[in-house]
Amino acid sequence: MRNDAEAAGVYTVRVEAPEGRSLPAILAPLLRQVLLRLSRIAAARDIATRGLRALAGFAKALKITYNDIEVGIDFDPEPGLTDNGDLEGDLASLLEQVGLAARTANTAVVIFIDELQYVNDAQLSALISALHRSAQLRLPLTVVGAGLPQLRGMTGDAKSYAERLFEFPVIGPLGNAEAELALAKPARDQGVDFEPAAIAAIIGQTRGYPYFLQEWGKHSWDVAKQSPITVEDVKQASIETVAALDESFFRVRFDRLTPTERRYLRAMAELGPGPHRSGGVAEQLGRPVNSLGPVRSSLITKGMIWSPSHGDTAFTVPLFDEFMKRIMPGTDWA
């Protein structure tokens, strides 16, 4: 299906990188769709068809290594083109063919990948290398990735030139003015106002985190019987909001943890919102700091924590420290 971006001259591919799936498995079916669309453009037909042959070779060669690749290609591979079984070289050649087809069609291809932190080091390195080649050839193909804060460090570890190749805008909490606007404007559009103190209370509870602003705003709206929405409405809504977040947003993350990982996060929570020194967490657990390295690494991989600076550890989700205290109360966890 052709979307608005494509009608304006840009082909977009959107995908989320889930845990447990390989980058080739994620990209191959989507690139097939793009190449098929490009092959319908007369000027790009031959190059796009060669791209489909490249994709056939890519999928066939790498299926032995990444057995989760499932893509049907109605084209015979071209020997020597993306079929060497080396992900870095083959992916670079494949994206080059896609870029060449896009340039011939006088269009561009943009691949949006969410949760990019779940892509492992070798596959992330291959993606960066492929994009570097496309940039050197000035091909109209690029990737827009989104992920947790550790993504910047991951890309730097994967390829030293990544910081020159990409921009890394930070999407963080809203400032007070933006948070107030996010709450007040939608309500005002429906003829409802918030008391200034009610808005201040919500911002204080949510720390400006956009999703939490949405949840607190929703429950405050549901609780209030008339305009303006008051501080008392927010206090009552907070009980329902926290309960809803505990059963969905927070609990989904908690259920992915091993008992050891839960204890580590509970120790962090005992210290407050953070960030915390790794040594402080180890002290809470009564363990040598070096013995907790594998647990900390696993939690970073799962996206539960990140390292703002060397030796520091922070939750990736605001208010998770409070949730950990609610779900693991007392001191039995220690």
Of 125, 144, 165, the last residue of a domain is 165
The answer to whether residue 333 is domain-embedded is: no
| Average of per-residue pLDDT across 198-203 | 96
Q: Are residues 296 and 239 part of one domain?
A: no
Q: Of 165, 190, 209, which marks where a domain is finished?
A: 165
> Are residues 320 and 228 part of one domain?
no
Tell me the residue length of the chain: 334
The H or E element containing residue 8 is none
- The answer to whether the peptide bond before residue 228 is cis (omega within 30 degrees of 0) is yes
Residues 208 and 158 reside in one and the same domain: no
pLDDT higher than 60, residue 4 = no
Are 54 and 105 part of one and the same domain?
Answer: yes
Q: How confident is the model at residue 7 (pLDDT cuts 50, 70, 90)?
A: very low
In a domain, 75, yes or no: yes
Quickly tell me which residue has 């206090």 as its tokens: 235
**What string of DSSP letters covers 286-300?**
TS-GGGGHHHHHHHH
Mean pLDDT of 146-154: 86
Omega cis (within 30) before 275: yes
Q: 8-43: buried (b, 16+ CB within 10 Å) or exposed (e) per residue?
A: eeebbbeeebeeeebbbbbbbbbbbebbbbbbebee
Does residue 76 sit in helix, strand or coil? Answer: coil
Burial of 190 (0-12, 13-18, 19+ CB in 10 A): exposed
**Cβ–Cβ < 8 Å for 202, 217:** yes
Residue 69 has pLDDT above 90, yes or no: no
Q: How, if at all, do strands 312-315 and 305-306 pair?
A: antiparallel
pTM (2 d.p.): 0.77
pLDDT higher for 15 or 261?
261
Assess whether 120 and 207 both reside in one domain.
no
Is residue 27 located within the same domain as residue 149?
yes
Q: What's the domain range around 306?
A: 256-327
Residues 31 and 180 in one domain: no
For all residues of the chain together, what is the average pLDDT? 89
Same domain, 184 and 299: no
142 and 191 share one domain: no
Same domain, 58 and 134: yes
Q: 171 in a domain, yes or no? A: no
**Number of independent structural domains in the chain:** 3
Q: Are residues 117 and 227 in the same domain?
A: no
Same domain, 24 and 117: yes
Q: What is the rounded radius of gyration, in angstroms, for the C-alpha atoms of the chain?
A: 24
Of 195, 226, 253, at which residue does a domain stop?
Answer: 253
pLDDT at 71 over 80: no
Q: Does residue 99 or residue 9 have the better pLDDT?
A: 99
Residue 8 has pLDDT above 50, yes or no: no
What pLDDT band is residue 215 in, cutting at 50, 70 and 90?
A: very high
